[in-house]
Amino acid sequence: MIEPSKRDWKLYREKIGDWQEHYMEKLVKEYADYLCSDLPASTKFWEMEKRIRRDRKTPGVCIELRKSDMFWDIAGLINDRVISMDDLEEFSDGLKEAVALILKR
């Protein structure tokens, strides 16, 4: 696997916060819709507790920024539908190819 370029690393650090914020906005909307359902309060409470515990471990919510993990983290963001390959248009072809290779595995 190739080493991420300085430009890609800088761009990634600039974008990750916005990507995560957008994803968390989506999650909050899903939570609100679920909480407005006609299910019993206890069912909603325990399901939300389980869901938040699971969601907070995803890269769309919490991620350690390491250059060595960048390709894998981006692939994880794509798998979790936080971003799509279209969000990588400003990145180098090498990064896009490395991420695509990981996604094919």
State the pLDDT at residue 71: 95
Tokens of 96: 């896009």
Residue 40 to residue 34: CA distance in whole angstroms: 11
pTM comes to: 0.85
Q: Are 98 and 3 in contact (CB under 8 A)?
A: no
Across the chain, mean pLDDT equals 95
Q: Would you state the pLDDT for residue 1? A: 63
Average pLDDT over residues 73-90: 95
What value does the mean pLDDT take over residues 88-100? 96
Q: What is the mean pLDDT of residues 85-92?
A: 96
